[in-house]
A and B are shown apart, each in its own frame.
Chain A
């Protein structure tokens, strides 16, 4: 990722894609994640425990999935953009170990609001072309060229 590049509000067109980011999920990664974000619920790092709860396998926790969205959006808005609101982060399916979560997005709309240059991004997570999280809306503020 080249963080020296900055996207401006004027550059963004409705319907444009947010570059996708892939997150392969291994047991190792889920364990590192549990230690990193302090969600130690066993459903996120132990298969038998997860299955006993009704899930097909251990699965990524909320903080991890939200972090995937944040990284994807941050790489789109650059260092001078800011995230103003996250809504519709609905976890529809378990994002299970042994799969790759791909976070995608597109520009839903853009507007000026009391001087703020805002963009609504529709963002979602996919597993094998099925949406597992979202689609939600992440409202961001971008710098303007002027």
Chain B
């Protein structure tokens, strides 16, 4: 069976669109937990609303991925590298789901309904549970650090393929 040499257009759009969204969300998250500036509340509100956008996008993206054939990894890539590539991609998908879910749950247990662009509100617990809030608040931070680490590994691997191995792995996503 012959694989195409590039990811489908829909997969590339999902990849780069979500790359922009995820980097913006991580930057916003890191800024808004420290800043006392008047725009902090605006950024916080945007971050929560885009978290809902993110989980919808990653769900659509996963469905799209399962329906498409992926370009094969280079034949001369070591088996352990192929394994690392596959595991890291599924870990990235896991984190893309876990980030908005943990973010929502920390808000839920703190009793803070989420306003989505003034259109609708996501429900929150009527009775605050501070232990579950603490659990998901700390998880949200740890998952964010894990995601930053995975993105660094992902970008590093893409650079390694392109500049060191000089294969077509990066080009297949362009």
Do the two chains bind? no
Residues of B within 8 A of A (CB): none
